Amino acid sequence: MTVDVERVKRAHPIADVIAAHGVRLRASGRRFFARCPFHEDDRPSFVVYPDTQSFHCFGCAADGDVIDFVRRVRQVGFREALDVLGEREPRGAAPRAEARVPRALALDDRLILTAACELYHEALLRTPHALRYLEERGVPEWLVTEARLGYSDGTLLQPYLQRRRLSVRRAAAMGLLYPDRRRDGEWREAMRGRVVIPDLRAGYCAWMTGRVPADDTSLPYLDLALPKPLLGYEVARDHDRLLVTEGPFDWLTLRSWGFPACALLGTHPGAQPLRLLEHAPGVVLVLDGDDAGCEAAQALADRLPSDVSMVLLPSDVKDVNQLGRQPGGRETFMALLSAAEGDGDGVTAR
């Protein structure tokens, strides 16, 4: 098979693919910096160059293009990396006209994502270690149900979609599945072994990310092959003031406290999340307390035309979720929010 590598690189912007594998990128000029996912990296030595569609780590010397990144991070060969990127079909499958997913989800795509969301939610309720992880992260039982959190054991999605006559190929194009290189015509679940956090909109699921229920991993999150949303915006959009945080579990913490909150899913939001925030009457930024979070909060505040305030977290906590797991964490946050808001009247928990 002849592969037009340059076309593959154009079709899959390297920064988007790397971010979708859970690597937190920080913009600096025309480049992005991050802690390297391939070795223990105490400081950001991993650099992504969108202009040349390449990456390089100044710590371990890993480098290459988007295909090289997928090969290394997934520990697969060249052909399998193309499978992950949606550039090849299993042997015997009809060629597809277009591999890339359109920005507006079709009805069938919504049905597939919603079916996966409900399947994973039911699986979570039968998986004690995943439920324990959520409890340890401070997520209450009522929010597990309300947010339709889930878990993938890696065995259920393909037969479930086939029983409901939903397209397995469309599920793969959106990043839910990828071809099993050991068995023709079979697929593997991308979210297997992960706690699943969906983005719900008007009764359907439009996006999801998967979190490994452990902290000793260089790639904690895996997103779908869809543009990142402003997580939780549909639930919080009608409020006068939105609390905007960085990660999914920070969002879950704020939501458990009754705040209208949404998550950027990183420190460099895309065009659509930015447009949504630009139309919000008021925004309270509650990003991580590290240097990247503080820099991102200031950069975002400078770009938004709406009334913006920033909550500064204590120096000994990384993020809102960690604060929420400490004794008196909610009370501490309320005091910080009051200080950020002046008189504290801007945002109230329900």
Range of the domain at 165: 107-223
248-265 pLDDT tens trace: 999 999 999 999 999 998
Average pLDDT over residues 286-296: 81
Are residues 55 and 111 located together in one domain of the fold?
no
So what's the pLDDT on residue 74? 80
Within a domain: 144: yes
Mean pLDDT of the chain: 85
Within a domain: 27: yes
So what's the pLDDT on residue 343? 46
So what's the pLDDT on residue 65? 94
CATH of residue 193's domain is: 3.90.980.10
Within a domain: 94: no
Domain boundary (167, 192, 223) is at 223
96-112 pLDDT tens trace: 333 343 345 788 899 99
Within a domain: 101: no
Number of domains in the chain: 3
Are residues 237 and 200 located together in one domain of the fold?
no
Are residues 167 and 111 located together in one domain of the fold?
yes
So what's the pLDDT on residue 345? 42
Are residues 303 and 242 located together in one domain of the fold?
yes
Are residues 120 and 215 located together in one domain of the fold?
yes
So what's the pLDDT on residue 129? 96
201-242 pLDDT tens trace: 888 999 999 999 987 666 788 888 888 899 999 989 888 889
Which comes out higher in pLDDT, residue 348 or 226? Answer: 226
Can you list the pairs that 25-28 forms with residues at least 24 positions away whose Cβ atoms lie under 8 Å? 25/266, 25/267, 25/268, 26/267, 26/268, 26/292, 26/295, 26/296, 27/267, 27/268, 27/299
Domain boundary (84, 117, 135) is at 84
Average pLDDT over residues 313-321: 90
Domain boundary (155, 189, 223) is at 223
Give the confidence band of 90 by pLDDT, cuts at 50, 70, 90. Answer: very low
Within a domain: 78: yes
Residue 63 CA to chain centroid, in angstroms? 24
Are residues 254 and 320 located together in one domain of the fold?
yes
Residue 29 CA to chain centroid, in angstroms? 23
Structure tokens at 51: 């202009």
- Integer Cα distance of 279 and 103 in angstroms: 20
pTM of the model: 0.73
In single-letter form, the type of residue at position 286 comes to: V
Within a domain: 251: yes
So what's the pLDDT on residue 82? 82
Contacts of 8 (CB under 8 A, 6+ apart): 66, 67, 82, 85, 87
Contacts of 162 (CB under 8 A, 6+ apart): 168
CATH of residue 9's domain is: 3.90.580.10
Which comes out higher in pLDDT, residue 2 or 292? Answer: 292
So what's the pLDDT on residue 145? 96
